[in-house]
Structure 1
Amino acid sequence: MGNAFNQEEMNKLTAENPLINELVSTQELFWMNPSYKHFQQGIKQAPLGEKDIIEAENRLLRFAPYIKKAFPETKEMNGIIESPIKEIQALQQHLEEMYSEKLYGKWLLKCDHDLPISGSIKARGGIYEVLKHAEELAVQYGLLGIEDDYSLLDSKRFKEFYSKYAISVGSTGNLGLSIGIIGAKLGFKVTVHMSADAKKWKKELLRSKGVNVVEYESDYSKAVNQGRIESEKDPLCYFIDDENSQHLFVGYAVAALRLKNQLESLKIKVDSDHPLFVYLPCGVGGGPGGVAFGLKLIYEDHVHAFFAEPTHSPGMLLGMLTGLHDKISVQDIGIDNITAADGLAVGRPSGFVGKTMEHFLSGCFTVSDHSLYKLLYKMAVKENIFLEPSALAGVFGPVQLFKTTEGKEYIQYQKLQHRMKNATHIVWATGGGMVPKAEMEEYMKAGFSEMEKM
């Protein structure tokens, strides 16, 4: 038991929220958010809106010439950091057999594991916030105007300018990768404070780019806190706060504008008769929160967003269930926060994201490491797509929606029983594009081993 609550307080909390007992048992479960509201009600209390997302998209468009020049892999997309969507019908059919459940609708994978530069969803928010900071500095000192060609930034002059400044972040891995790669490329001195669960190859890759990596034996929250403390000592250091950053959040939200275009190009409708379900792996909450918020702005009540968390790290679910958000951690209720899904190994959620999404999030579900490895193996075999364990968390969403009592109740509550055949399910694949071959082979072995147990 953690130190935040005494036994009497914990007994009261559990009595008010009996689901805590199920969370403690680390069984897979599906939770429908009782605070969910119709979009027009919820948006009145939201701290951000459409103009914030459009401003972020415009900033990314200004930086596209720089990205195209500095990262040749983005040349084909003219410097736009974006991923494709792909139908995963073979996996859908296989999971119907595996779980003995009809899984209605069209299944699509949003391939953020294929995002250029850092191979994960963090290439959205992480890179965006670094670019925003770089722009503000250059404009402040008269080196850049927003009408200029931003490819100018890929030059000795700008690298020397940025080398006077530092950037710091706490990370379980992928956010650190995205910030480290773009920050170092621009010329900043970057320090990434890495938690114990961060993969060794991610640390080595960062160091190869000239990034200072500080390792901790404890979890994500400690790495973030230390990063914050260290950066406060240096007036020229900019701390990217994964737990509270609105800039990260809107950077992720830009994905919604682009997904809308992708769905329209595939002639996929989203309306009252054609509901859209989106399943997003969740760590501290910024990435999935930003994407879900952006989608709610576009599709309002026709989109249903769910967060996916490991059974051993259900931080966002716990925070929203109790209404305590970042005032409670999974360690407080006796869960160890240890999972193979390193990017999701976050015991204390973002209070900013939890409160922002309180009325927009349809629910959360949890998934075990055993299921993640099975799904990883099946995704590779059936679709020839190779992801890291955390990126498979969303795949379990449609299974839980159709199979669990709570999932069926959600469908009925939303009066969607007769519309599910027309539904589109988007599973967000959040990372895996930069996983070394040897590491992926180990993941595949673990997945095969889990399949053998069935």
Structure 2
Amino acid sequence: YTIGVGSTGNLALSIGTISAKLGFTVEVHMSADAKQWKKDLLRQKGAKVFEYKGDFSEAITQGRSITMDDPLGYFVDDEDSKALFLGYSVAALELKRQLDEEGITVDKDHPLFVYLPCGVGGSPGGITFGLKEVFGDHVHCLFVEPTHSPSVMLGVMTGEHEKVSVQDFGLDNLTEADGLAVGRPSRFATEISQYLVSGFYTMEDDEMYRLLALLADSENVYVEPSAASGLSGPLRLQESGILEENGWEDKMGRAVHLTWSTGGSLVPEQDRKKFYQKGKSLLTPVTES
């Protein structure tokens, strides 16, 4: 039996690793922007990695076609899988358990704000769906995308969903946040998320690196660039005007803010140091000699 998956990185790591461990044949279809260390690690785990010159859309389209042609193949479809979407949503139950253990209340007077890195939209969409089921109107989710790859935001704002790509707006879909390098959003996830998401914001790659370094210095937590994108969420919220529009400003002193970090623990030490050093260099003021 064969498990296939198309990914820019992190979904491939999870599906590829566990599927190989369980004894399946694993075929991972990865876009050109996927990091080399992720491809190498997958091959070490026993997965077959197919590389494409195009972006995520090409990788997932080709991967779906190849896998579905195999009568013993199953494709984990990040663009159009209800099972995967609901799998993401289960994270809300885990979060509720953690909040309860910490004695953290989420209700009308103690709202929860969650900042979710967003690629094709399946993961943040599924998590948001779960959170809304658990906390209702007391949770507010904001999606974060790279300035060069805001596919879900554009899909929702235009109402065209998967019918538009970032290239249609003159953007190149090139970003260091490889897990978020998606030019066209998921139809299934975006059609649901448009009714649940509270807002979007975009971020430059350099800002992700700066936040990555600040997190390492302050908390000794090392993440990859895409996983740092939600860290500026509370500041963006304050600057956006959305607090006044929704009557939230008087509750901010009692609010809970949560950044969803999507990866970093598997990053090789050499790459981790490069990420950190780049972030530190961007934090250091440039002085003229």
- TM-score of Structure 1 vs Structure 2, range by shorter chain: over 0.9
Q: Distance in 1 between matches of 2:102 and 2:167?
A: 44
| TM-score normalised by L of structure 2 | 0.97
- SS for the counterpart of 1:248 is helix
Q: CA-to-partner distance for each residue in 1:98-132, whole Å, 9 max, x for gaps?
A: xxxxxxxxxxxxxxxxxxxxxxxxxxxxxxxxxxx
The letter of the residue matching 1:169 is: V
Q: Distance in 1 between matches of 2:284 and 2:243?
A: 33
Task: Point out 4+ residue stretches in structure 1 off by more than 6 angstroms.
Answer: none
Residue 263 of structure 2: which of 403, 427, 431 is its match?
431
Corresponding residue of 1:221: 57
CA contact (8 A) 1:377 1:448 kept: yes
Corresponding residue of 2:131: 295
- SS for the counterpart of 1:193 is strand
Gaps in structure 1 of 5+ consecutive residues? 1-164
Corresponding residue of 1:443: 275
Residue 318 of structure 1: which of 136, 149, 154 is its match?
154
Measured after TM superposition, the shift of residue 334 of structure 1 is: 0.7
Q: Distance in 2 between matches of 1:211 and 1:418?
A: 51
The letter of the residue matching 1:288 is: P
Does 2:39 match 1:203?
A: yes
Q: Distance in 2 between matches of 1:399 and 1:446?
A: 23
For 1:263-282, what aligned pairs fall within 5 Å after superposition? 263-282=99-118
For 1:366-405, what aligned pairs fall within 5 Å after superposition? 366-403=202-239
Q: Distance in 2 between matches of 1:348 and 1:262?
A: 34
Pairwise CA RMSD: 0.9
Residue 261 of structure 1: which of 71, 83, 97 is its match?
97
CA contact (8 A) 1:367 1:396 kept: no
Q: Distance in 2 between matches of 1:440 and 1:276?
A: 31
Does 2:180 match 1:348?
A: no
CA contact (8 A) 1:168 1:227 kept: yes
Q: CA-to-partner distance for each residue in 1:282-330, whole Å, 9 max, x for gaps?
A: 0011111111110101111110000000011100000000000100000
Q: Distance in 2 between matches of 1:257 and 1:232?
A: 32
Does 2:243 match 1:411?
A: yes
Q: CA-to-partner distance for each residue in 1:353-380, whole Å, 9 max, x for gaps?
A: 1101111110110011011010001000
Say how many residue pairs are matched: 286
- SS for the counterpart of 1:169 is strand
The letter of the residue matching 1:257 is: L
Q: Distance in 2 between matches of 1:232 and 1:295?
A: 32
- SS for the counterpart of 1:337 is coil
- SS for the counterpart of 1:419 is helix
Higher RCO, Cα 8 Å, sep 6+: 1
For 1:172-251, what aligned pairs fall within 5 Å after superposition? 172-251=8-87
Gaps in structure 2 of 5+ consecutive residues? none
The letter of the residue matching 1:374 is: R
Measured after TM superposition, the shift of residue 204 of structure 1 is: 0.9
- SS for the counterpart of 2:28 is strand
Q: CA-to-partner distance for each residue in 1:320-346, whole Å, 9 max, x for gaps?
A: 000001000001111000001000000
Corresponding residue of 1:330: 166
- SS for the counterpart of 1:291 is helix
Measured after TM superposition, the shift of residue 442 of structure 1 is: 0.5
Q: Distance in 2 between matches of 1:313 and 1:191?
A: 26
Deviates more, 1:430-439 or 1:257-266: 257-266
For 1:94-133, what aligned pairs fall within 5 Å after superposition? none
> Identity percentage over the alignment?
54
Measured after TM superposition, the shift of residue 232 of structure 1 is: 2.5
Q: Distance in 1 between matches of 2:88 and 2:217?
A: 30
